[in-house]
Structure 1
Amino acid sequence: MEFGILGPLRVRTDGREIAIPGRKQRTLLAALLLARGDVLSDERLTALLWGQRPPATVSAQLYTYVSRLRQRLGAAVELVREPAGYRLGIRDAVFDAAEFHRLSRAGHRALRENRPDVAARLLHAALDLWRGPSLGGVTDQLRAAETPQLDEARMTALESRLEAELALGEHRQLVAELTGLVARFPLRERLRAQWMTALYRCERQAEALAVYQEGRRLLAEELGVDPGPALTATHHAVLSGGLALDGPSRAAALPGAAAAP
């Protein structure tokens, strides 16, 4: 059995999709999956399903949703009532969020260990698990609670994948992708430093400096801060010619270090 939340909620077994009807029922399943085997209290589930206005029959409705999930998922999972709430055990089923975190952690570790080829392969595999915006088809309350950390983990994996590919000398192939990413996320300093590195290694030093100046202006206007250490170091390296055309940039930070809020 396979469970997916990195996109619309999806459940499959033997290649066949199992429909989970109803936003509340999908939210219940997604919340229990994200608990990773821990108990979710009735109070927490109520807040995720109904927000600040639960129905008077909330306990009965929770029981009904759990019973329907048990019927649809069958013996492949263990969905049990505990004294304080409900717990889901998925046994040997595949959960895409858990697999993403496993692959991305291994990729970050390989990058720290100066194994960019391994890092790039692992991080590509992690990012390929995403089918779109996470947690599609669930309540706004669950999305508000869970998507920020999921999206940040995705962005950090993407930045590390780009770092690994820069270390492998793929700067020419990355310029266009980085141009689009910085346009979408102009305050992420690590992406901007990587764009500067790729431009510099393509012998476009003036453009790399312009990218820094634009970032400095945006950070001051939007957040009232100066560029952080990683972006500043990349700027100095561009000015001094310190970004080798045939080697990795050491000015760009490792996961999360230079990301603006």
Structure 2
Amino acid sequence: MKFKVLGSVGVEVDGRFHSIRGGHQRVLLAVLLVNGGRLVAAEELYTELWGDRPPVTVENALQAHVSRLRRTLHGWSDGGCALISRSTGYSLEFAAEDLDMNVFRRGVAQARAAMAPDPARAAHLLSGAMGLWRGAPLQDVAGGLICQSVAVQLAEEHLAATEDKLWLDLEREVPSAIGELKRMSIVHPWRERVTEMLMLALYRCGRQAEAIETYHAARARMVAELGTEPSPQLKERFLEILNQSPACAGTAANRTARPALAPELV
């Protein structure tokens, strides 16, 4: 049995995805999963399930949802997980590799470690990690503060991993890199790393004028909408492209240096 939160919340059994019936049970499962086996206080669960309007018999209501979820999981389980009741809260014990969120994070970490010595392997690992995603994380339970905060963090981690994959595609001269970078620059116009990579990709295939225009368009948008200038790194890259610096030529020595890898989120 595998747990899924990178998309709608549910369980995969024998390759088949099963949603958890009942919104409160889905939220309960999600909160227990993202806490990684740690005890979640009953008061936190009250807030996550009912917000500021808990039922009068909130303790009994929570116990009822826990019992239903336990029965549901027991029907699918091969003994690899257990929903534990404590005096102050609840926890779900399961193997870390049985949660897609953990598998994604491990794959991204392995890919980043391999980017310099083995870019092809790093790209393969990133593709595998990103292939776990089935949509927005925790998409059907992200109303409470715990799930909402985790969903935001996971979305940022996915975007950073996407940027890493695009950098590897740029370095390996994958033909689709420019198209994907252009798409990303539209969807995420404030990601300077995407703008920098698009500028480099255009310059390296002989489209210096487009690379320069990409910078000017990004700068004009930032000044008009944010009232700020591009970062020193982006300005430096623009000047290198403008002056046809060898640093932009894509030699093996330069290709491992910029842009800087996105830091891992914890």
* TM norm structure 1: 0.91
Q: Whole-Å Cα distance in 1 between the matches of residues 102 and 67 of structure 2?
A: 25
- 1:105 and 2:109 equivalent? yes
Q: Whole-Å Cα distance in 2 between the matches of residues 121 and 16 of structure 1?
A: 25
Q: Whole-Å Cα distance in 2 between the matches of residues 125 and 233 of structure 1?
A: 34
Measured on the aligned residues, the alpha-carbon RMSD in Å equals 1.9
Q: Whole-Å Cα distance in 2 between the matches of residues 139 and 200 of structure 1?
A: 41
Amino acid at match of 1:208: A
- 1:122 and 2:125 equivalent? yes
Query: What stretches of structure 1 move > 6 A for 4+ residues in a row?
Result: none
- Residue 3 of structure 2: SS of its match in structure 1? strand
For structure 2, list consecutive stretches of 5 or more residues without a partner in the other structure.
Answer: none
Deviation of the 1:91 alpha carbon = 3.2
Amino acid at match of 2:249: A
Match of 1:251 in 2: 258
Match of 1:67 in 2: 67
Q: Whole-Å Cα distance in 2 between the matches of residues 92 and 160 of structure 1?
A: 24
Render the CA deviation track for 1:102-151: whole Å, top value 9, x for unaligned. 0011112222x343212111111111110111112215125422211000
Amino acid at match of 2:56: A
Contact 2:110 2:125 in 1 (8 A): yes
Counterparts of residues 153-192 of structure 1 (less than 5 Å): 153-170=157-174, 172-192=175-195
Contact 1:80 1:86 in 2 (8 A): yes
Amino acid at match of 1:50: W
- 1:228 and 2:235 equivalent? no
Amino acid at match of 1:72: T
Q: 1:168 to 1:19 in 2, by over 3 A?
A: closer
Render the CA deviation track for 1:78-123: whole Å, top value 9, x for unaligned. 1111232111111376211000000011112222x34321211111
* TM norm structure 2: 0.89
Deviation of the 1:60 alpha carbon = 1.1
Q: Whole-Å Cα distance in 2 between the matches of residues 163 and 69 of structure 1?
A: 43
Q: How many residues align?
A: 255
Counterparts of residues 17-28 of structure 1 (less than 5 Å): 17-28=17-28
Match of 1:30 in 2: 30
- 1:85 and 2:89 equivalent? yes
Match of 2:9 in 1: 9
Q: Whole-Å Cα distance in 1 between the matches of residues 12 and 128 of structure 2?
A: 20
Decide which moves more: 97-106 or 247-256.
Answer: 247-256
Amino acid at match of 1:53: R
For structure 1, list consecutive stretches of 5 or more residues without a partner in the other structure.
Answer: none
Render the CA deviation track for 1:1-28: whole Å, top value 9, x for unaligned. 1111111112022234444111111011
